[in-house]
Amino acid sequence: MKPETIKVACSNCNLRELCMPMGLSEHDLQRLDEVVATRRKIKRGSTLFSNGDKFTSLYAIRTGFFKTCLASEDGRDQVTGFQMAGEIIGLDGIVNDQHSCDAVALEDAEVCVMPFDRIEEISREVTALQHHVHKIMSREIVREHGVMLLLGSMRAEERLAAFLLNLVQRLHSRGFSQSELVLRMTREEIGSYLGLKLETVSRTFSKFVEDGVVEVKQRHVKILDPEALQRMVNSQPQCH
């Protein structure tokens, strides 16, 4: 037991609604408390898990922001996703019992460590938890599919618009502003995720500012015209 890890109870956690199923009985909640082994603090720039690490746990992000990435053949990082407080990270490890990417903290963060064998064991008794885990996995698959569509067919403006709308919507569902956000990632990391060069990301942000769609002060972004962003994304031919 490391000094930075302390016992935690899900039933007292204010993020409970986000990462645990609703409407559980007192008894079921107590069972869920048994799932969370410890809390772990991760310093900005540190790795929660790395590509090739043995998969043992899922992590519920309590505070902070992460990116998942892979080292490409030329040694650069390819960003595969961004995760925020209230989301679950580590699902990539379920398939082959080892992680297939690195998870790096973009700011000081804290996670709840949930050993997967305990989740599986309790899922068999608490069906609501089983459904919930399936729902989380499904959401990840849908999100990844969305990113593939994004990279497959969208122009730079459409990619960045979809990215900003997605981030704001996820933050809003966690009680944050619907129109303002602080970008925890660099322009370069956004570019890596969206398949765009750094200059293209910067140029597109500048165009959004010129067009009065957003206001940007360093990492602070204020969305002035969400409808305009939505129109850019909707201009995509929809696939059926």
DSSP state, 126?
Answer: -
Q: What is the pLDDT of residue 204?
A: 96
pLDDT of residue 40: 92
Q: CA 79: distance to chain centroid?
A: 12
Distance CA 123, CA 115 (A): 12
pTM of the model: 0.84
d(CA 106, CA 82): 9
Least confident of 41-55, 78-92, 132-146: 132-146
CA distance 20 to 123: 12
